[in-house]
Structure 1
Amino acid sequence: MRTRDEKKVKAIRDAVIELSQADGFTNLTTAKVAKKAGVSPATIYWYYTDKTDLLSRLYEAVKNELHSGLTAEIKKSGTDLTAQLIAMLTFTIIQAKKFPKESHFVSALWTNQELLDEQARKFGEQETASLLILYKKIQADSDFIDAPQAVLSAFCSVPSLLLQTVDDANEEEINQTIQLVVKTLKK
């Protein structure tokens, strides 16, 4: 049986992210991905059944990578809910700055959910455990507005969106955006 070649999987992943950003998802073909990744088209089909499966599995993997370490950052901030919220927002910004293409890839697919299969859509609706806990704490705390998880999630995505839309956002603008999100969520 053929074993999984992680170098090829990474090359495919990187090619998909780069090509989708340069050409969009509509123009993304397995032939282009294979050429960019330096693999045969058959190799792509060894790992993924079709374009939807390819985008869906990569969306899940990249989203997991971007959230890796989030729980530790929230815990490091202590027990103050505002400090935890700021730690989460700051972590998200750091990840988006460190992995801009990956961050954009996840956001772009989330806003084009028709490209994802049902499993990936459900995966996207589920936040990591630490985010869910944080959102539940915010919802239960009388110092914060009473808002559904989807609204909290949308507001918390604003700092990352700033980085995706403003190429040269500086630290002051990023910090102002974080503070604006916090002020918006607090009563």
Structure 2
Amino acid sequence: MLKKERITDKKSALLSATLTLVNNHGFHNAPMAKIAKLAGVSPATIYLYFEHKQDLINNLYLEVKKSFSDSAFSGYEDEMSVKKGFEIIWFNIANYKLNHVSEATFLSQCDNSPTIDEAIRIEGLKNLQPLLDLWERGKKEGIIKPLSAFILYAHTVYPLSFLLEMQEREIFTLDEKVKGEMFQVAWDAIKM
């Protein structure tokens, strides 16, 4: 059992180091040697867990995407009204992004970069299926505009990334009042 814990610790340390380096220096300026050094392991250790850097990045993406999705759907139930379900999911996403800034920054970089393999990106999107299903139900019930999920996401969730970046620069504050206003704008953007 102790050996497995040590393995998990090293793998977690590598993923954490990668998250830090990618967020601070970008994908291309996070070489394996720096990742290993920051994780406190030898460079050869990386290859016990990951085939290559792309494998490490893809694994980190899937792990962060799963954490994001687990948080996003906390308290959500399929039988909720479309608006109530969307409200819970939206606020969960906002709170995740506010409370897990490093992870949110990483996901935003991944969304805006070709670095993540397309097959891995598609795998990561599966974690958002409950939201996609909710939107589909909303379209069928005539509650949500019949738009692509990409357009719905762009108008409801993606603006959070922009405002969080402004908050990180200390030129905007995303408090509870603003979150409430943002949710209303997001809902108004997609409702019929």
Tell me the TM-score normalized by structure 1: 0.89
Give a deviation string over 1:7-34, Cα, whole Å, max 9, x none: 1111111111111111111211000100
Answer whether contact 1:56 1:117 (CA < 8 A) is retained.
yes
**Secondary structure of the corresponding residue to residue 77 of structure 2:** helix
Answer whether contact 1:11 1:37 (CA < 8 A) is retained.
yes
Moved more, 84-93 or 61-70: 61-70
Distance 1:137 1:129 in 2: 12
Equivalent positions of 1:114-125 (< 5 A) are 114-125=114-125
Distance 1:106 1:123 in 2: 14
The residue number in structure 1 matching 2:53 is 51
Distance 1:148 1:127 in 2: 17
Answer whether contact 2:50 2:56 (CA < 8 A) is retained.
yes
Distance 1:72 1:154 in 2: 22
Answer whether contact 1:156 1:181 (CA < 8 A) is retained.
yes
TM-fit CA distance, 1:128:
2.8
TM-fit CA distance, 1:141:
2.5
Match of 1:170 among 172, 175, 190: 175
Distance 1:12 1:142 in 2: 47
Aligned residue-pair number = 184
In the alignment, structure 1 segments of 5+ residues that lack a partner are none
Moved more, 48-57 or 159-168: 159-168
In the alignment, structure 2 segments of 5+ residues that lack a partner are none
TM-fit CA distance, 1:67:
1.2
The residue number in structure 1 matching 2:19 is 17
Answer whether contact 1:8 1:39 (CA < 8 A) is retained.
yes
TM-fit CA distance, 1:154:
2.0
The residue number in structure 2 matching 1:98 is 99
Give a deviation string over 1:80-125, Cα, whole Å, max 9, x none: 211111111000011112211011111211211x212233122134
Match of 2:65 among 63, 70, 75: 63
> Aligned partner of 2:63: which letter?
A
The residue number in structure 2 matching 1:138 is 138
TM superposition outliers: structure 1 runs of 4+ over 6 Å: none
Distance 1:32 1:128 in 2: 32
Tell me the TM-score normalized by structure 2: 0.87
> Aligned partner of 1:57: which letter?
N
The residue number in structure 1 matching 2:87 is 86
Alignment CA distance shift 1:17-1:9 (3 Å): same
